[in-house]
């Protein structure tokens, strides 16, 4: 028992810095592939990525143990979960296709998402306790989270497709250290990720609307509809519907560059909507006391949720 508690105490020192440093190191190793060959690099990348993932998972478990909330319901936890999922995908791809330079595209996104969380969102507290989660809010959060992961992966696949297509169209010979998956593979990933992200994001948005409607019916105290959230969500939903229809009725949209453009646009729109929704203080707690500064960490429940 003592040794287990020692391990837990030791693991409690694991912070965001640990896994972020691991991912940054892996990214440096990936970039170094462009310039020289080292036999042990692949093993080193796998080991460091696995170590980073372990630290990431431990950090999540410890965060969940020490709070009464779930990481899903804070923007910070959300970003960290997206980063975790992206690293899992990266590790899988690295094992499956060790000669492909997927890391050059995936890891900057991982670092970017973690960086955004650390710089802009670390002060945000979870807004819903585990006990208060309803079916619709779980569906809303989960579908949007998975949809965001799919859209992010789709964006990366889209960028890779466009880079590969650009190279092949201009007949640039394959370069050692910069080998991308085949156009066919990238097109397939793009198509499935676009379809998946469209379905999940639409489900998430609809679940959010239903959840809000249920709350409005059930309680008179519920916060009013936020026009920015409503407009941006409707715009995103419209885009997703148009994308779906476009794909269904316009054959070229299912293949080639068009599907890559669609995934990239979907991601950019999703990012814009996220920024708008966040700036509208959707799903964040608002300070009731004017004396509290923005940077202070909240300690009690004297806040109300801006829906």
Q: Which stretch binds other proteins (CB under 8 A): 18-26, 68-76, 249-257, 278-286?
A: 249-257
**Which window, 107-115, 134-142, 145-153, 251-259, contacts other proteins (CB under 8 A)?**
251-259
Q: Which helix (H) or strand (E) holds 130?
A: none
**Given the rule CB under 8 A, which of 14-22, 35-43, 131-139, 180-188 is the region that contacts other proteins?**
180-188
Local structure of 10: helix, strand or coil = helix
116 in contact with other proteins (CB under 8 A)? no
Residue 184 beta carbon to other proteins: minimum distance, rounded to whole angstroms: 5
| CA–CA separation, 279 and 289 (whole Å) | 19
Residues whose CB is less than 8 angstroms from the CB of residue 117 and which lie 6 or more positions away in sequence, other chains included: 75, 76, 79, 80, 83
Cβ contact 266:194 at 8 Å: yes
3-class DSSP assignment, residue 131: helix
Tokens read off for 197: 């992200």
Q: Determine if 168 is a binding residue for other proteins (CB under 8 A).
A: yes
Position 244 contacts other proteins (CB under 8 A): no
Nearest distance, CB of residue 187 and other proteins, angstroms: 7
The first and second tokens of residue 259, run together, are 């599907």
Q: In the numeric block, which tokens belong to residue 186?
A: 């990238």
**Using rule CB under 8 A, residue 160 touches other proteins:** no
69 strand-pairing partners = 129
Give the binding range for other proteins (CB under 8 A) out of 76-84, 164-172, 213-221, 233-241: 164-172
Q: Does 181 bind other proteins (CB under 8 A)?
A: yes
Provide the minimum distance between the beta carbon of 77 and other proteins in the complex, in angstroms, as a whole number: 36
Bridge partners of 286, per DSSP, are 304
Distance CA 46, CA 69 (A): 32
Which residues, numbered 185-204, are part of the site for other proteins (CB under 8 A)?
Answer: 185, 187
- Binding of other proteins at residue 177 (CB under 8 A)? no
CA 287 – CA 292 distance, rounded (Å): 7
Distance CA 262, CA 248 (A): 13
Does 261 interact with other proteins (rule: CB under 8 A)? no
Residues 54-93, mask of contacts with other proteins (x by CB under 8 A): ----------------------------------------
Interacting residues toward other proteins by CB under 8 A: 164, 168-169, 171-174, 180-185, 187, 251-252, 255-258
């Amino acid at each position: 028992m003592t040794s287990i508690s020692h391990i837990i105490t030791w693991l409690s020192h694991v912070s965001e810095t640990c896994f972020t440093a691991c991912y940054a190191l892996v990214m440096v190793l990936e970039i170094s592939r462009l310039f020289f060959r080292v036999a042990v690099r692949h093993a080193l990348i796998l080991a460091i990525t696995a170590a980073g993932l372990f630290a990431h998972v431990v950090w999540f478990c410890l965060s969940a143990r020490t709070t009464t909330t779930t990481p899903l319901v804070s923007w910070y936890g959300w970003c960290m979960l997206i980063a975790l999922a992206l690293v899992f995908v990266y590790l899988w791809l690295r094992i499956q296709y060790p000669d492909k330079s997927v890391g050059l595209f995936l890891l900057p996104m991982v670092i970017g998402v973690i960086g955004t969380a650390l710089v802009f969102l670390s002060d945000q507290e979870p807004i819903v306790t585990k006990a208060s989660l309803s079916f619709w809010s779980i569906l809303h959060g989960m579908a949007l989270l998975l949809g965001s992961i799919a859209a992010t992966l789709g964006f990366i696949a889209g960028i890779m497709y466009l880079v590969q297509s650009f190279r092949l169209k201009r007949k640039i010979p394959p370069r050692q250290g910069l080998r991308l998956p085949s156009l066919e593979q990238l097109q397939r990933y793009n198509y499935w990720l676009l379809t998946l992200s469209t379905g999940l994001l639409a489900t998430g948005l609809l679940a959010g609307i239903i959840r809000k409607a249920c709350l409005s019916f059930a309680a008179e105290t519920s916060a009013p509809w936020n026009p920015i959230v409503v407009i941006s969500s409707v715009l995103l939903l419209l885009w997703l519907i148009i994308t779906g229809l476009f794909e269904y009725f316009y054959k070229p949209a299912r293949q080639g560059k068009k599907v890559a453009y669609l995934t990239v646009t979907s991601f950019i729109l999703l990012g814009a909507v996220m920024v708008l929704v966040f700036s509208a203080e959707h799903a964040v707690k608002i300070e009731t006391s004017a004396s509290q500064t923005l940077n202070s960490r909240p300690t009690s429940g004297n806040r109300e949720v801006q829906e």
